[in-house]
Amino acid sequence: IVGLNPRSVLVTGSNRGLGLQLIWHLIGKSNPPKWIFATCRDPDGPHAQDLKDLAAKNLQIIIITLDTTDPSTVKAAAAKVTDHLKGAGLNLLINNAGILNRSSLETETPESMAETYRTNVIGPMIVVQAFLPLLRKAAQEIPLEGMSCSKAAIINISSEAGSISSIFEWQWGHIIAYRCSKSALNMLSKCQSLHLAEDEILCVALHPGWIQTDMAGSVGSPPLTTEQSLQTILNTLGRLSEKNTGTFVNWEGNLIPW
């Protein structure tokens, strides 16, 4: 499997920022996926208009309500995706939905910490649980040995801010809850990779780069444009294999220390 050629992709938090850019770049490929499931909390809200405009022009994009903090919407989304796939599996699941609250060690609150974990850690956990049957089905459909994002893969969008040894951009923001949640997401990714190795489902935690989105811009001046980052991310996703499962990499595919 050369390059990134999944028949079906699901992206959470796809109404703006990195998620929307991922949808935009996937649909712009010379051979776009047959199904692109773009999920977000409120498809009818004002923040989803750009996504709706894109879906109106591209029939492969199917917008589905999914709030990663609400298990009932996750289950309902999995049922809808199953219906659309008509017996086929889901090749690529990108857990992108995430939140960032500004906080220091002294101003962080239990409520903010709990809310951040619900979205950034528990969310990706329950999304994978719900879509696992479809990922397993995809892995079984493609008889090739090994792992790839075109076969069956979970990509958890993490952040170098979750690296305990590199302490990324501390001077820009302490963002305690966010950092802790991304460290926890990295461990979740590792656990998923160990549990799903026999199924040949690739599991990787990916730092997309500090790029110019609403969320990243709230903490400083990101050096990367989304265009630079996104093209490189798609190239990296196309190159990931069983050698990378259970790892924490950046947008170029280079290892980041835990």
Res 191 pLDDT > 80: yes
More confident residue, 209 or 203: 203
- Predicted TM-score (pTM) of the model is 0.94
Q: Which residues contact 241 (CB under 8 A, 6 or more apart)?
A: 146, 147, 148, 202
Element (DSSP H or E) covering residue 157: strand 153-157
Per-residue pLDDT, averaged over 58-74, amounts to: 97
Say what the pLDDT of residue 214 is.
56
CATH architecture for the domain at 8-249: 3-Layer(aba) Sandwich (3.40)
Locate tokens 């996937």: which residue? 26
Whether residue 56 is predicted with pLDDT greater than 90 in this model: the reply is yes
Residue (of 9, 119, 136) closest to 71 by Cα position = 119
CA gap 128, 32 in Å, rounded: 23
Q: Which of 28-32, 189-193, 214-218, 237-241 has the lowest mean pLDDT?
A: 214-218
* Of 95-109, 165-179, 207-221, minimum mean pLDDT range: 207-221
